Structure 1
Amino acid sequence: MADSRHGVRQNAPALLTLAVAGFLAVTTEMLPVGLLPAIGDAFGVGDSVTGLLVTVFAVMVAVFAVPLTIATKRFARKRLILTTVVGYLISNLLIATAPSFAVVAAGRVVGGLAHALFFSVCIGYVPRLVEHRQVGRGLAVVAGGTTAGFVLGVPLSTALGSAIGWRNAFVTLAVVALIAVVLIVRLLPAVSGAAAGRRIEKPGARTDLGVVVTSNTLTFIGQYTLYTYISVVLLAAGAQESWIGPLLLLCGICGLFGLACVGRTIDRRPRTTVLTVLVLLAVTILAVGLSHQWLVLLVIAVALWNGLFGGVPSMYQSAAVRALTDAPEVAGAWINSTSNIGIALGALIGGSLLASDSATLHLACVGAAFVVAGLVVAVRGRRGFPG
């Protein structure tokens, strides 16, 4: 297995295959969100219990991403990524055929374990395929599938569940997993894992990675303090319930545009890109809070905010891989783990603010404050976010 690196264009089939797998991964994570009431009705359990299907998935990722990545660092990468995709296949089939709610929960545990390892391997695959100066662009291509999963995850789950039933929605996703397996076997080059022996680590690499993952955690907390409750914010501003799906789709499309913009600059001007995006992200989150009484202005602010966030995951992935060049999978594992920690904490913090007067403004102010904290870490951590 040779790690022969070429440009993004030459590796387009492999990178697009990873993008398809990323779409599968995120859609598997998000699919139950729109189906929780139907799943609960099928097994006679309440909303608070079915909500644990989302929580258990995130907890598995946060806890196991780093240890699983370290334990498998010398395994062949292609075989490992195939294993994770098969894990998604098994997870979705278990849920589709589950005779009890316990089996559904077990299926989510299997999916969470696959997810804990998938993004670490996926992020680490790119620098093994693409030459160093195009790593950020390669990660942006792969992140396109991830962003598409976020765009379509909840709307797709709701639409599929209504049209063909929640079990068949999971069957459909199992078919997508099977397609991803075929694409990986046929189009993804084999690359080796980490070499045996002591890693040669550049001075300060762990500190640099610490700066990146700290900023990543704070930014994700800020984003999900508000985004977790975006439906509540839109409804409170006068949006009809039937508008929520299309508005979330609009947010996702804006996110894809933001990802494309970051992909064009992240390799040439990494520090400028990071600082500019974080400043504008904080400003647009505040704009959401300030415009919450005027629906049209609110929708514009929400679209701009989510457009900016579209490039954030690949921005931090690229910075982490550059900080820990000799172990890109470990860098990816830390990004994967801290992103999920940020999502969970953001949801908890936002939930505690919902009962307050002017909840939208409070959500936005707290969310923007966390993003500013992430910006301060990035400004001070020049080595983690170099020019």
Structure 2
Amino acid sequence: MAHTGGLGSARTGLLVLAAAAFAALTTEVAPVGLLLEISRSFGVEEARVGVLVSAYAVMVAILAIPVTMATRRLRRKPLLIATLAGFLLCNALTFLAPSFGVLALARILGGATHALFFSICIGYAARLAPPGATGRAMALVSVGVSAGLVLGVPGVSAIGAALGWRWSFVALTALLGVVVALAMFVLPDVPAPRAAGGGDRRRRPALLLVVLANGLTYLGHYVLYTYISSLLVRSGVGPAWVGAALFALGATSLLGIRLAAPHLDRRPRASAAAVPAGMAAGIAVIALAYPALVPVFLAAMLWSLAFGPAASVYQSAAVRTGSAEPETAGAWVVATSNAGIAGGAALGSMVFAQSGITMLAVIAAVLLGASALLTVVGRNSFRDVPAHAGS
């Protein structure tokens, strides 16, 4: 999906970063696909299991900016390996967890690790890239991010359905072991970033609007997506088929990335509006059609198609504002994405327990509609001409 021509010897290291990003994102979203199994295993309500997503994401939202700034002078390779080891430990503890409390602590550890990982990964990719190939390098690493977001849930769900939910985390632990080894022996070292600076302070309101729209999009998405397994089962999908259904939705999201890719730079404002508007439309149909399986699933495909390019849309828009270095702009996107994930999972937990699936869908559609409106209003934040963003 990403063109890698011109990357030369950097391609191998970038592929390692892409694999690391896939493992990191899958670690974050794994409980979504295993919600029902974890709930039954520990005898807790589904809504409480949904809070695992919130606890993880809130750590990222709180820590992303401060840890990015606090570690900017440290060597990149040892720091990256340390974060990958943190993910490995998080998944190993999750597999071994004797109680729901221990499981929650393991997820908090994962969230703290995640807060640092992506700021390092973004800067690492930029420094590995040959001159003039930074965009291609970031695109290649982004394949791992996108694949983790859209295929991580169905992947762990399929393993959980076949072998039990704990084995999903065994598989993630093994994957991270391989990635740690590759990072140690294959990934070249890069210098630490220079001192903070750069960016046009006058453009900071534009960045603020981008990250606000980003946070609203993830908030609306995760209000309902945290409970996607429950939505599918209660609409008539057999428990054994949930993994297959999630794979189909994940493939639809990847198709969305493919369809959107040519337009992200040429029509950034239209792309940024189409993502939340398309998601809102699909979720609104779910609210009207639930629990009828066929229209619910078709609407979920529209929702997934629109969500696919979300990460690319907001990351590129934040950098394009030119208000901060790319790493700093990226850290703000990571922070607000996870604030949205945490808030969506928490809000969804309360609404699901009190009012059920239909109200979750209504609230999600309203939030996504608000994000689309912000994009329409914020003409200066989603510009057609890239701005200089520092280095």
User: TM-score, normalised on structure 1?
Assistant: 0.83
Could you say which residue in structure 1 is the equivalent of 2:182?
A: 183
Alignment gaps of 5+ in structure 2: 385-391
Compute the displacement of 1:135 (Å).
5.6
Which is further off, 48-57 or 343-352? 48-57
In structure 2, C-alpha distance between the alignment counterparts of 1:132 and 1:284, rounded to whole Å: 41
Distance verdict in 2 for CA 1:46–1:339, change over 3 Å: same
In structure 2, C-alpha distance between the alignment counterparts of 1:268 and 1:179, rounded to whole Å: 38
Question: Taking every aligned residue pair, what percent have the same amino acid on both sides?
Answer: 42
Q: Secondary structure at the match of 1:194?
A: coil
Compute the displacement of 1:67 (Å).
1.0
The count of aligned residue pairs is 379
Task: Tell me if the contact between 1:275 and 1:375 (Cα under 8 Å) persists in the aligned partners.
Answer: yes
Distance verdict in 2 for CA 1:80–1:33, change over 3 Å: same
In structure 2, C-alpha distance between the alignment counterparts of 1:364 and 1:119, rounded to whole Å: 30
Could you say which residue in structure 2 is the equivalent of 1:28?
A: 27
Q: Secondary structure at the match of 1:190?
A: coil
Task: Tell me if the contact between 2:61 and 2:338 (Cα under 8 Å) persists in the aligned partners.
Answer: yes
Could you say which residue in structure 2 is the equivalent of 1:273?
A: 271
In structure 2, C-alpha distance between the alignment counterparts of 1:303 and 1:144, rounded to whole Å: 20
Among 367, 380, 383, the alignment partner of 2:380 is 383
Could you say which residue in structure 1 is the equivalent of 2:56?
A: 57
In structure 1, C-alpha distance between the alignment counterparts of 2:278 and 2:135, rounded to whole Å: 20
Among 316, 319, 322, the alignment partner of 2:317 is 319
How large is the RMSD of aligned CA atoms in angstroms? 3.3
In structure 1, C-alpha distance between the alignment counterparts of 2:218 and 2:296, rounded to whole Å: 21
In structure 1, C-alpha distance between the alignment counterparts of 2:283 and 2:49, rounded to whole Å: 30
User: TM-score, normalised on structure 2?
Assistant: 0.83
Compute the displacement of 1:105 (Å).
4.1
Could you say which residue in structure 1 is the equivalent of 2:192?
A: 193
Q: Secondary structure at the match of 1:204?
A: helix
Compute the displacement of 1:303 (Å).
0.8
Residue 361 of structure 2 corresponds to residue 364 of structure 1 = yes
Could you say which residue in structure 2 is the equivalent of 1:113?
A: 112
Distance verdict in 2 for CA 1:58–1:238, change over 3 Å: same
Task: Tell me if the contact between 1:23 and 1:148 (Cα under 8 Å) persists in the aligned partners.
Answer: yes
In structure 1, C-alpha distance between the alignment counterparts of 2:50 and 2:282, rounded to whole Å: 29
In structure 1, C-alpha distance between the alignment counterparts of 2:230 and 2:37, rounded to whole Å: 21
Task: Tell me if the contact between 1:157 and 1:169 (Cα under 8 Å) persists in the aligned partners.
Answer: yes
In structure 2, C-alpha distance between the alignment counterparts of 1:216 and 1:343, rounded to whole Å: 11
Task: Tell me if the contact between 2:257 and 2:309 (Cα under 8 Å) persists in the aligned partners.
Answer: yes
Could you say which residue in structure 2 is the equivalent of 1:3?
A: none
Could you say which residue in structure 2 is the equivalent of 1:171?
A: 170
Could you say which residue in structure 2 is the equivalent of 1:329?
A: 327
Compute the displacement of 1:166 (Å).
5.1
Residue 141 of structure 2 corresponds to residue 142 of structure 1 = yes
In structure 1, C-alpha distance between the alignment counterparts of 2:240 and 2:37, rounded to whole Å: 18
Compute the displacement of 1:125 (Å).
3.3
Could you say which residue in structure 2 is the equivalent of 1:303?
A: 301
In structure 2, C-alpha distance between the alignment counterparts of 1:380 and 1:125, rounded to whole Å: 34
In structure 1, C-alpha distance between the alignment counterparts of 2:290 and 2:100, rounded to whole Å: 39
Task: Tell me if the contact between 1:95 and 1:170 (Cα under 8 Å) persists in the aligned partners.
Answer: yes
Task: Tell me if the contact between 1:136 and 1:315 (Cα under 8 Å) persists in the aligned partners.
Answer: no
Q: Secondary structure at the match of 1:384?
A: coil
